Structure 1
Amino acid sequence: MLDQSYYSKTDEIIEHYGKDARSLIPIMQDIQAEYRYLPGELLTYVAEQIGITEAKAYSVATFYENFSFEAKGKYVIKVCDGTACHVRKSMPVLEALWKELGLSKKKHTTDDMMFTVETVSCLGACGLAPTMMVNEDVHPSMTPEKALAVIEELRGRG
């Protein structure tokens, strides 16, 4: 059950875009930007408010990969495992992050909600492989040691 403040903020977002089915994606983007994920309860609420079915809202949200129904950490780390990154040893980078943060294929976010680690098929920076992103920042030519140094720097920021 979400706090009433989530619904109040969602009402502000809906008001900004208008109660129209065409507003669904920008509304979902703003909700996810606000909370770092898309709470299912809010998606249902948005569907009611803009006059679409819950099924339609969920079909749109699940179609696009960047929408997440799971809460993510303050720092979302994406490790590329596309061909160029994989052959240049991106998996040892991923494994070092998992080990350092106590994460795995099944557990993506630290208990303190500080870090989320995901693998992606491509970050579009093949010439910089292996590549890792932290939120919007690209980190090229990664090694396990460099990845752990990034984690330490982020921990220092809080």
Structure 2
Amino acid sequence: MISRKSVCGIAATAVVLTMITACGSDSDSDSSASSTTASATNDMRSSIAATASSALSSARNTAQQGIQEAINVALAAAPITFDSGSSDLGALDVATINAVALPLKGNDTKIRITTYAQDSDKSAAEALAKSRGDNIAAELESAGIDKSRITVKAEVDPKDQNVVDKAKIEVVPD
């Protein structure tokens, strides 16, 4: 898999080469021709810059989609789950988290971990959901993912009862 930095580097190099090729000499002696040429060159540069920005954004989105797909595959193979009322991670959960960390290495993609809990005491449920997310974040950090790239979102009493005692990990778009 091509890393996000590689895609961005290739796109940036292509943009620079295109700009160098497109920007010719403005050494005409006729001042009105020179003014027209300068205006056309500025318009062309603006167009090239807009195209380059669009290409770079597209490359980033493609890289983020690839990372999200890899995370989804890992979570589908072995979802991160918790025993009711517990925030402890099992060995299989840690293995899944390590699999999630792999596509996150070598890039600066940010993620959001959403964990859920249900309890009649809302504050207890929120504390449990947050603890679950913090435990996943700590495992990702121990796998080499910088803490600044991880956001934890704790949800209490979700409408979808199928997500209680589970975790979701999503790429956060730039």
TM-score (norm 1): 0.31
Q: Which structure: greater helix fraction?
A: 2
TM-score (norm 2): 0.29
Instruction: Identify which of structures 1 and 2 has the higher relative contact order when contacts are C-alpha pairs closer than 8 Å and 6+ apart.
Output: 2
